[in-house]
């Protein structure tokens, strides 16, 4: 079975800077573990931008079908966490799905 990632799913969300630490802890506790159980790999990025902080979660998938199975059939759909409306400046409307061209 080939376990090399061919697709990345990238989610972005922004919080106010004063909520960033609490949201990061929430993401690590609630948002990341389900991805770690299913995706080949997961990365969480944080970019402090002054008044706001952007979080980027990138998950790596063997193929489109494995990603679709995790998301319930619609990988483009954003699956908001329960507390996202409390933390996020705006609820993201989409995720980016990209093919991986180079993986070293």
Q: What does the pLDDT look like over 6-34, one tens digit per residue? A: 999 999 999 999 999 999 999 999 999 99
- By the 8 A CB rule, do 51 and 20 touch? no
Instruction: Determine if the pTM surpasses 0.85.
Output: yes
Q: For 32-54, write each residue's pLDDT tens digit.
A: 999 999 999 999 999 999 999 99
For 69-82, what is the mean pLDDT?
86
Within 10 angstroms of residue 38's Cβ, the number of other Cβ atoms is: 15
CATH architecture of 7-99: 2-Layer Sandwich (3.30)
Q: Domain ranges in the chain? A: 7-99
């Amino acid at each position: 079975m080939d376990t090399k990632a061919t697709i990345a799913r990238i989610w972005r969300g922004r919080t106010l800077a004063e909520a960033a630490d609490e949201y990061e802890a929430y993401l690590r506790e609630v948002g990341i573990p389900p991805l770690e159980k299913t995706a080949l790999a997961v990365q969480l990025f944080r970019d402090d931008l002054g008044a706001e902080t952007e979080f980027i979660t990138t998950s790596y998938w063997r193929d489109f079908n494995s990603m679709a199975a995790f998301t319930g059939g619609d990988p483009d759909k954003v699956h908001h966490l329960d507390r996202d409306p409390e933390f996020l400046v705006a609820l993201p409307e989409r995720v980016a799905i990209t093919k991986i061209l180079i993986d070293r």
